[in-house]
Structure 1
Amino acid sequence: MKVTWRLAPPLRSPPRAAIMDSCLFQLIPQDLFVDTVESNNSLASALTCLFANTEDSTARLSPPLVLEAHRFKDHLSAKFEWDLTLTDEGEWDEVGEVGELIVYPLKSGRGVKVTEAEATRYGLAVDLMEDRSFVAAYPSNVLRGKFDSGMFDLTLTLDGSMVTLRCRQGKEEEEKEEVHFDLQDVMKEGKVVEIPDYRYDVKGYDCGDEAAAWLTKVTQATRKGENVRLVYNGDLMRNRRPETVLKLNMHKTYTYRFYKPSDRVTYAESAAYMLASETSLADLNERLLKKVTLDWFRPNLVVRGVRRAYDEDDWAYVRIGDVVLRRVKPCTKHVFKYVDPETGEKSTNQEDRVLRKTLISSRKIKGPKSLEYYFKYTPVFGVHLGIDSCGKVRVGDKVEVARVSSNPRWEL
């Protein structure tokens, strides 16, 4: 299906005064036009076409005017969190179907496979079970699987408001295998904690002493003598934006340009979604002596039936029913200190090196010249996605994509 947008005629005599008078928007109450873009009304359409025309190289506009238009657009995006980018996904190519949906309620904990879920602004959700909505933390930082591998033994599930936290069978045979608590009690208690993590400050509702004591016991093998608290997002981290800037070295950074002002995460870091394909995993395993599963890479969306391995590198947009997802960056894996999801055994340093080297040599990632050296030595598997249109997704749903190769504007 070809998507065609009708643009206004190129601006030969652009309304310079209108753009220069953008300071008048400073006087508009922020909540007056809060639903303008979401409602797709005439104002949103007119502004979107205006900015599309100023970015059209055939319009022959003066550079100062184009600069003013960009500033005006940035101002509106910052003030009202509007996304005024004209998106033309072009040709949709059916590539397969949804093979698995995985929610990770506990950051760095084990995933929970579901047959259907809501694709929300913050990730997959099934009722109160939202992706990365809980985090385990010491007083000084968050526990992450790549540094605290014991997190991979933990599973958090919800039945209504009842939370169950389990440890992998046999991890601590002498200790209680699971703990339960009611999320309504947590919210009623309303004890807010803040953790000054090295990546970002964490805020949330403390889930109580029983959960904390249990977590402290089952994670003692990695950091002895420190108390671990379980923290729930609630509504305290809803305005957090993903990390969009890549630090290449002490003096150089790169900003990924396909993030939008509307993108949000709770306790995730780079994006609300990660997608991978079964075909890419099969290709990787053909190159490895010790086979791995997709659980090693922790995707939310697994696509089945893709014809070519690593085809997802070429997907600018992904459409599943009413849901439209947008590629923001490749999913990079800097550190491999993984635990076999089936056995709970740690991979050896040699296995980590082999996996890393194999991923790097599997294919060349296309990107800007400034990232050539970075991708040459950084393993990549899967893609990180933001969301443009929310809705329900189900295992078995058709997956369609718009390709980067069909439109140079979508290249990293």
Structure 2
Amino acid sequence: MIVRAVHVYPIKSTQGYEVPAADVEPWGLVHDRRYMVVDEHDTMMTAREHPLLLTCRAEVTGTGLTLTGGHAAPVRVSPTDRVRTVRLRAELMELRDCGDEAAAWLSELLGRPVRLVWQDDPTRRPVDPDYGLPEDRVSLADGYPLLLTSTASLDRLNDWIAEAAVERGEEVPEPLPMHRFRPNVVVDGVETAFAEDGWQRVRIGDLDFRMSKLCARCVLTTIDNTTLAKGKEPIRTLAVHRRWDGKTWFGVNLIPDGEGRIRTGDPVKVL
């Protein structure tokens, strides 16, 4: 098995991009999900409720980001010293505001007042203690430092979708792309679809990871990242084949057991 792709998502719920290699910190890949958009009440906004976030591309440039979108010229933004108390679900945390220019650019994109904030200190946010150790930390990702998926599992899911379409007498849709699931690490060469469900520990290159839990999937996976059209897949099919505990599942969450670097082409070994 090898690493097929590595992805980072600088701003939570906006576009990600593939990188040839990435440094791994205790709380996730460097630059991954360290920024977040909040509304006028300083509450997290995600593409689940605000799909236009998916039209924003953020790339790390120096000490900040360059934001690109179809609504305005690109803009470079950086964190300020101003601290905001924001809400990420039930969590309250102090994050640094990224200034009025970033706020204006994103507010124009989303059609409402918003701010961009940055997590300056990831050591303050622990993972769910039910699935990690007391010292485990996480960025602004939903709950865990990294997400791993496999091409074998996606191929099987797309086969299920196609088979069900034929049974309903519908046209077979185009296969879903992996970016619908927003993974950090995509693994090729897994012999059996969903074999990753049973992994406990895995080595990627020279770095070891613990599998904390499977990843429950939400309606974000049903939004076409290009057209923003909402559909029923993959949740409809996952609900048939991959539903238990009232949720649907695809991918596994990882917690690193050290710091290092992972690369496309790195060997992947189950420990």
TM-score by length of 2: 0.89
One of 214, 228, 249 as aligned partner of 1:345: 228
CA distance in 2, matches of 1:285, 1:242: 31
Q: CA deviation at 1:114?
A: 0.4
**Contact 2:205–2:263 (CA<8 Å) still a contact in 1?**
no
Post-superposition offset of 1:210: 0.9
| 2:115 is aligned with 1:232 | no
| Residue number in structure 2 paired with 1:138 | 39
Contact 1:318–1:324 (8 Å) recurs in 2: yes
Q: State the partner residue of 2:53.
A: 151
Aligned residues: 259
Aligned residue in 1 for 2:215: 331
The one-letter code of the counterpart of 1:150 is L
How far 1:385 sits from its partner (Å)?
A: 1.2
1:147–1:337 contact (8 Å) kept in structure 2? no
Residue pairs, 1:155-234, within 5 angstroms: 155-167=57-69, 169=70, 172=71, 176-181=72-77, 183=78, 186=79, 189-220=80-111, 226-234=112-120
What's the CA shift string for 1:24-56, capped at 9, x where partnerless?
A: xxxxxxxxxxxxxxxxxxxxxxxxxxxxxxxxx
User: What amino acid sits opposite 2:123 in the alignment?
Assistant: R
**Shift, 1:159, TM fit:** 2.3
Q: Specify the SS of the correspondent of 2:14.
A: coil
Quote the residue 2:126 is aligned against.
Answer: 241
The runs of 5 or more residues in structure 1 that have no matched partner are 1-95, 221-225, 245-255, 365-372, 403-412
Letter in 1 for 2:113: N
Which amino acid is the alignment partner of residue 345 of structure 1?
L
Residue 271 (1) aligns with residue 144 (2): yes
Q: Is the 8 A contact 1:264 1:272 kept in 2?
A: yes
Deviation, 1:238, is: 2.4
The answer (yes or no) to whether the contact 2:47–2:220 under 8 Å persists in 1 is no
The whole-number CA distance in structure 1 between the counterparts of 2:221 and 2:154 is 18
Deviation at 1:197, TM superposition (A): 4.1
Aligned to 2:181: 297
CA distance in 2, matches of 1:149, 1:278: 25
8 A contact 2:51–2:228 mirrored in 1: no
- How far apart are the structure 1 equivalents of 2:83 and 2:208? 34
CA displacement at 1:205 relative to structure 2: 1.3
Aligned residue identity for 2:83: V
Amino acid at match of 1:359: L
State the 1:162 CA deviation.
Answer: 4.5
Instruction: State the alpha-carbon separation in 2 of the partners of residues 209 and 313 from structure 1.
Output: 44
TM-score after normalising by structure 1: 0.60
Q: CA deviation at 1:363?
A: 4.8
Corresponding position of 2:257? 388
Select the structure that is richer in helix. 1
Do residues 356 (structure 1) and 235 (structure 2) align? yes
| Distance in 2 separating the partners of 1:238 and 1:153 | 30
Equivalent position amino acid for 1:238 in 2: T
Residue of structure 2 in register with 1:110 after alignment:
15
Q: What corresponds to 2:24 in structure 1?
A: 119
Deviation at 1:177, TM superposition (A): 3.5
List runs of 5+ in structure 2 lacking aligned partners: 162-171
Instruction: Tell me how far 1:306 sits from its aligned partner.
Output: 1.2
* Alpha-carbon distance between aligned partners in 2 of 1:197 and 1:333, rounded to the nearest angstrom: 18
8 Å contact from structure 2 (residues 180, 221) kept in 1: no
Identity of aligned residues (%): 32
Q: State the secondary structure of the residue aligned to 1:329.
A: strand
What is the CA-CA distance between 1:327 and the residue it aligns to? 0.7
Q: Aligned to 2:269, what secondary structure does the other structure show?
A: strand
Root mean square deviation of aligned Cα? 1.8
Q: Secondary structure at the match of 2:247?
A: coil
Given that 1:136 and 1:228 are in contact with CA atoms closer than 8 Å, whether structure 2 keeps it comes out as: yes
8 Å Cα contact 2:202-2:210 kept in structure 1: yes
Partner SS state of residue 214, structure 1: helix
**What's the counterpart of residue 2 of structure 2?**
97
Q: Secondary structure at the match of 1:131?
A: coil
Q: 1:197–1:259: structure 2 CA closer, same or farther, 3 Å change rule?
A: closer
| 1:149-199: CA deviation from partner (whole Å, max 9, x where unpaired) | 1111111111222520112x4xx3xxx142113x3xx3xx41111123433
Q: Residue 190 of structure 2: which of 284, 301, 306 is its match?
A: 306
Counterpart position of 1:61? none
Query: Is residue 2:268 matched to residue 1:399?
Result: yes
Tell me the residue number matched to 1:32: none
* 1:320 Cα offset (Å): 1.3
Q: 1:314 to 1:278 in 2, by over 3 A?
A: same
**Bigger radius of gyration among the two:** 1
In the TM superposition, what whole-angstrom CA distance separates every residue of 1:50-84 from its partner, at most 9, and x where no partner exists? Answer: xxxxxxxxxxxxxxxxxxxxxxxxxxxxxxxxxxx
- The alpha-carbon distance between structure 1 residues 358 and 122, as it changes in their structure 2 partners (threshold 3 A), is same
